Structure 1
Amino acid sequence: MGADGTVDEVHRWAAGLDALHARIGGYFRRSEPRRRVMEYLCGLLAPLERKNGWTLAEQAGELCPDGMQRLLNQADWDADAVRDEVRGFVLEHLGVEDGVLAVDETGFIKKGTRSAGVQRQYTSTSGKIENCQLGVFLAYASTRGRALIDRELYLPTSWTEDPARRADAKIGEDVTFRTKPALARAILERALDAKLPFRWVTGDKVYGHDPVLRGWLAERRLSYVLAIAPKYRCGPRGQNARTVSAIPPEHVWETRSDGDGAHGLREYAWALVSLPGERDDGFNDALLIRRNLADGERAYYLVHAPAGTSTTEIVRAADACSAIEECFQAAKNEAGLDHYQVRHYPAWYRHVTLAMAAAAHLTVVRTTTGEGRGWS
């Protein structure tokens, strides 16, 4: 690439960040936090090994982290309003009518016991029980790209039922215990209220196993492809998903490539099995099965979609389940999503929201330069 191309890219990068800052700047009433949030975003986007108060302050030419910590802990600004602007920024650049909303949680490994929501609990981030916080997130995926647009911190009952811990972590009295599927529903309700353009909702097993969430989606006539475990019972006589997957004959399986993975080309065979139950709303329920052609491993999804929806479209929606995992990886590696050193409940939302903004900026820049990876 020539020097002019590099300069142009830098200008586009800076102009895009200026536009994003202008968009959220109005929610910082005073000039000092308004200026500092720009420094915070620049630090999150800088090639730093760790992106915490100290390193962000050093990147901004400051001698101590007090200003960065004040931005997260004491400054007067509304993290939810900024979140809404980040969502609008993403939709402005990535929004399409057949977009996908993907919900999932990710873990934030922590030491100690004072960070809001921390306890020993299972996290898919490491695949085991860790001392960690869990955040439930929503990603928007389209043919143009994918980005995180909403977030909620999961608070176990060890926190919600302990007044002393709540007070220490500045957890408001209005915050109650909610399961991860309940947090997902709250996030999805906000997406509906904002009138996001989308056609599908996807999610991992935690959400696929929850009948309340699935019922809520069905009541709103929303199509979904939600992962379930092999032992989850969904068949006409109470059979589990693994048993139902033996029903389709070999000729109905459709083979699709999912692109290059860590060990070469990933190819899967897919089959769709109708599930029992009469509906009068024009929707059908089905079990989608994915079989890895390399090792035979299978994955299972509950599908709720309008009658006549093609298997190809359903498979495309299932493919988008991986979009949020890619968002987590990018936001952590490139925008410091998990690099924070804050304990208070509101401060977690502030850092995570700004990291989402930084990651969204990178996605949009890549989209405009043709380097982004969309869902297809």
Structure 2
Amino acid sequence: MANLEVLHGRLRSCFARRKPFEQAGKYMTGLMSDLPRKNGWTIAEHVGDDTPDRTQRLLNQAVWDQDRVQGVVREFVVEELGDQSLRVGALDESGQEKQGEQTAGAKRQYMGCAGRVANGVNTVYCSYATAGGHALVGARIYVPEEQLADTGRRAVLGIPAEVGFKTKSQLARDILADMIADKTVPPWIAGDEVYGRAGKLRAFIADNGIGYVMRVGYAFTIEVRPGERMRADAVVVAHLTGRKHKRRWQVCSVTGSKGERAYAWAWLATTSPRHYLLIRKHLSSGELAYHYCHIPAGQPDTLMTLVRVACLRWPVEEGFEFGKDHFGLDHSQVRLYTALLRHIVLTLAALAVCAVTTAQAKTRAPAPILPTTPDEQPPTDLGLIALTVAEIKRLFTLVTRRLQPETHHLHWVWWRRRHQARARWYHHRTRLRRDQQT
């Protein structure tokens, strides 16, 4: 509760009027509730409103600065998680499947959430990750070029005039530029191949004195000697394969969400100062993953540093999982650009509250009881794992659950039926007009 009050209080300067500010707090509470679906109707009923009008106004018409809210959320997360030996900004994108083409950003495209080409909206995110905890702190919606080129469609989708077409790597650069401006950018950035193959993004990060560990493909080329470029997979064959190169591989274990993850790692210097190729090999399958790295001056020049940075890219996926499963990150039914972005930003705020609370609880949790030998028998009492984000949210729900009077829920049964009857009437009239025209 205290962290919610602190973060919500800090958002006051982002709102022109008090009522939308208070509604934003109610919206965050609804996102942190146990509602199975979190949209304007369900949140409005949960927080005690008679209709969804206030919630819809908050997302669509109210005057408030959603970009500044992102900045406040970042500052809150960095303040609470920043005192760590290693801090990484992890870039990745996640999507929300949508029906039709009347939502800003929606088109048929590859959706990581579906693992295939599907109709939906993709959003680029940045997660602030440390060994003690992590939270999503930045978001930019990817808008297809064809939507931006059509003036009429831009107006229908509510896309502001200042929004121009940008690739995912350019959107990631914008997020990092904001973090640099408000001094919340961590010393390291990690990303997958979408960002690893973006040379301008890598140059921007390095030019600002920030290190990076970026995933690249096997066909990515590096200069191993002056004038000689080689593909990443060819580098492995030439310099890391065979008995004489066996010592160049080191098995490193890094703690993951389900325990220790051990891989074999190797790194090779390039002719570019302070740039390296980092290779990860799966111990069982031998599958390889490649990373292009930059170590800025003043940062530890060690293999283990790069390994730890590479592994702190993984928590961003956990952030997507928690955001969607527990906070309604992909539940919104809004269609306009600003409304969609505002829902995402308020979801990031709600997730940040629980992520920070979880990290604080972890510092007070006892050390885990783990076996030391393969045949060891479990003790009678294995204790408890540290509180997770999901458990923190459930505890919050128990503390804050509003048992609205029965008349309130009966009112909503009536309101929904009346609204749906009205929608049905207009739907049938539209069909009659269409039939008449044909």
User: What TM-score comes out, normalization by structure 1 length?
Assistant: 0.89
Q: Is the 8 A contact 2:173 2:201 kept in 1?
A: yes
Match of 1:240 among 214, 221, 231: 231
User: In the TM superposition, what whole-angstrom CA distance separates every residue of 1:24-55 from its partner, at most 9, and x where no partner exists?
Assistant: 13323333222211211111001111111111
How far apart are 1:221 and its partner, in Å?
2.6
Q: Is the 8 A contact 2:216 2:291 kept in 1?
A: yes
User: In the TM superposition, what whole-angstrom CA distance separates every residue of 1:307-361 from its partner, at most 9, and x where no partner exists?
Assistant: 7600001100111111211211111122111111111111111111100000000
Q: Secondary structure at the match of 1:48?
A: coil
Q: Secondary structure at the match of 2:129?
A: strand
- Residue in 2 that maps onto 1:361: 353
User: In the TM superposition, what whole-angstrom CA distance separates every residue of 1:209-242 from its partner, at most 9, and x where no partner exists?
Assistant: 0111112222223211000112222353433222
Where in structure 2 are the equivalents of 1:176-215 lying within 5 Å?
176-196=164-184, 198-215=186-203
Q: Which amino acid aligns with 1:269?
A: A
- Residue in 1 that maps onto 2:213: 225
CA distance in 1, matches of 2:121, 2:162: 20
Q: Establish whether residue 83 from structure 1 lines up as the match of residue 73 from structure 2.
A: no
Q: Establish whether residue 305 from structure 1 lines up as the match of residue 295 from structure 2.
A: yes
Tell me: CA distance 1:261–1:99, structure 2 relative to 1, closer, same or farther (3 Å). Answer: closer
CA distance in 2, matches of 1:80, 1:223: 25
Identity of aligned residues (%): 38
Q: Secondary structure at the match of 2:310?
A: helix
CA distance in 2, matches of 1:112, 1:131: 7
Match of 1:344 among 333, 336, 341: 336
Q: Secondary structure at the match of 1:238?
A: strand
Match of 1:44 among 8, 31, 40: 31
- Residue in 1 that maps onto 2:8: 21
Where in structure 2 are the equivalents of 1:91-240 lying within 5 Å?
91-96=78-83, 98-196=86-184, 198-236=186-224, 237-240=228-231
Q: Establish whether residue 267 from structure 1 lines up as the match of residue 255 from structure 2.
A: no
Bigger drift between 232-241 and 202-211 goes to 232-241
CA distance in 1, matches of 2:188, 2:146: 34
CA distance in 2, matches of 1:338, 1:205: 24
Q: Secondary structure at the match of 1:332?
A: helix
How far apart are 1:20 and its partner, in Å?
1.5
CA distance in 2, matches of 1:218, 1:38: 38
- Residue in 1 that maps onto 2:278: 288
- Please tell me the root mean square deviation across aligned C-alpha atoms, in Å: 2.0
Q: Secondary structure at the match of 2:36?
A: coil
Unaligned runs of 5+ in 2: 363-385, 390-438
How far apart are 1:86 and its partner, in Å?
0.7
Q: Is the 8 A contact 1:267 1:294 kept in 2?
A: no
Q: Is the 8 A contact 1:122 1:128 kept in 2?
A: yes
CA distance in 1, matches of 2:340, 2:293: 34
User: In the TM superposition, what whole-angstrom CA distance separates every residue of 1:48-70 from its partner, at most 9, and x where no partner exists?
Assistant: 11111111112113343222111
How far apart are 1:92 and its partner, in Å?
1.3
Tell me: CA distance 1:212–1:273, structure 2 relative to 1, closer, same or farther (3 Å). Answer: same
CA distance in 2, matches of 1:200, 1:260: 19
Bigger drift between 304-313 and 34-43 goes to 304-313
- Residue in 2 that maps onto 1:256: 252
CA distance in 2, matches of 1:106, 1:80: 19
How far apart are 1:302 and its partner, in Å?
0.2
Q: Is the 8 A contact 1:144 1:373 kept in 2?
A: no
Where in structure 2 are the equivalents of 1:302-341 lying within 5 Å?
302-306=292-296, 309-341=301-333
Bigger drift between 14-23 and 110-119 goes to 14-23
